[in-house]
């Protein structure tokens, strides 16, 4: 689960961004000013920052400069102005990307995901194949005989992690550490629910084929028996 810090003094924009990204499987932290954003960034493990360019007091450029002293996480600027000078200032301060308001939430999430993947050195091009099932790590797609089903960010990451290690059993704790990236004391229910959704989508995509096995009291593993 990617953790993103959203920084904007407009509560409506914050609410819209947070609701959409949570729906896609992200964790979010919120700040409506520069000092709070820097305090959160210094204490939390973040994967990216979505940063408003124009804020009262400490603006986004100043926040980005200060942030670069403690972190290299991707920063995507949001601005109501599309001036070339503003874009240059943001990039020179250490920003990675720039979106002008109004913007598409779909595009924001796509840019976020690509920047985070690059940050974590996850490069595209690899496709895991299990018979007719294809798990495209670059496009983040799951395909079966030409058909596909949409997976959220977290669902895809869980499936891809298990599929990259077929036959190996992973405990809940290991999945939290490697994929979920949230404290285990939040309970097991969330990861069980997410895994159930992954199974349901796989069943819808390729009926009658069961790729994920629950190993009682141990965790989950990806199983593939080659068809003969």
Q: What is the pLDDT of residue 56?
A: 85
How is residue 125 written in tokens?
């091009």
- Rounded Cα gap, residues 186 and 2, in angstroms: 16
Q: What is the pLDDT of residue 228?
A: 43
Q: What is the pLDDT of residue 79?
A: 86
Of 156, 8, 161, nearest in space to 171 by CA: 161
In whole angstroms, how far apart are CA 139 and each of 26, 96, 117, 142, 156?
18, 21, 11, 9, 11
Along the chain (228 residues), what's the average pLDDT of each consecutive run of 10 residues? 92 95 93 94 89 90 91 88 73 86 90 84 70 85 88 84 90 77 53 87 90 89 71
Residues 64, 34 contacting (CB under 8 angstroms): no
Residues 135, 159 contacting (CB under 8 angstroms): yes
Q: What is the pLDDT of residue 199?
A: 92
Q: 3-class SS at 75?
A: strand
Task: Specify the residue for token string 């895994």.
Answer: 195
Handedness of CA 159, 165, 170, 176 (dihedral sign): negative
Of 175, 189, 192, 220, nearest in space to 211 by CA: 220
């Amino acid at each position: 689960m990617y953790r993103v810090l959203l920084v904007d003094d407009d509560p409506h924009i914050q609410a819209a961004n947070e609701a959409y990204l949570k729906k896609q499987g992200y964790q979010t932290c919120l700040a409506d000013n520069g000092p709070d954003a820097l305090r959160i960034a210094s204490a939390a493990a973040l994967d990216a920052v979505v940063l408003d360019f124009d804020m009262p007091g400490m603006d986004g450029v100043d926040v980005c400069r200060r942030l670069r002293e403690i972190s290299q996480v991707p920063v995507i600027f949001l601005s109501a102005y599309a001036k070339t000078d503003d874009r240059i200032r943001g990039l020179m301060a250490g920003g990675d990307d720039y979106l002008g308001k109004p913007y598409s939430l779909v595009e924001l999430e796509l840019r976020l995901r690509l920047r985070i993947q690059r940050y974590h050195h996850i490069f595209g091009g690899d496709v895991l194949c299990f018979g007719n099932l294809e798990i495209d790590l670059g496009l983040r797609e799951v395909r079966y005989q030409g058909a596909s089903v949409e997976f959220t960010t977290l669902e895809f990451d869980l499936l891809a992690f298990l599929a990259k290690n077929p036959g190996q059993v992973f405990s809940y704790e290991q999945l939290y550490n490697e994929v979920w990236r949230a404290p285990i004391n939040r309970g097991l229910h969330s990861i069980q629910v997410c895994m159930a959704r992954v199974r349901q989508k796989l069943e819808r995509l390729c009926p009658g084929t069961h790729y994920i096995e629950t190993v009682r009291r141990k965790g989950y593993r990806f199983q593939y028996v080659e068809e003969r």
